[in-house]
Amino acid sequence: MDLDQARRAAALCARASITVLQSNLPSGREIAEVVKLTGFVACTPEFHQQSAVIDAASQVLIETFGAAGRHARSAIGVTALPHGASVEVELIVALRIATS
């Protein structure tokens, strides 16, 4: 997988995470802000662009939530991920009571 493919995978992970979060929020709650993103990139020891890969996930969060999508972040290289995935993301979000 090249860098562009990995970036697309990271963006897809971010979009999927948003979808899962929003579809499982308790009634009357909404995402107030993204607090932290941790991104894991399956790679060889010679690969040093984990941050560039996870930048794509960060960009999706900022595009989706605006200023509330800005977050703390870690980008970590690992030798393998479950099910042969190339990228995995973990989000911590703050919730608020939705106002109608």
pTM of the entire structure? 0.93
DSSP 40-92: EEE--TT---HHHHHHHHHHHHHHHHGGGG--EEEEEEES--GGG-SEEEEEE
Other Cβ atoms closer than 10 A to 26: 9
pLDDT tens-place string over residues 7-18 = 999 999 999 999
What's the pLDDT score for residue 93? 97
Query: Does pLDDT of 100 surpass 80?
Result: no
**Cα distance between residue 51 and residue 81, in whole Å:** 17
The mean pLDDT of 24-32, rounded to a whole number, is: 92
Please report the sign of the dihedral spanned by the C-alpha atoms of residue 26, residue 31, residue 36, residue 37.
positive
pLDDT in tens, 41-88: 999 999 999 999 999 999 999 999 999 999 999 999 999 999 999 999
pLDDT tops 90 at residue 99: no
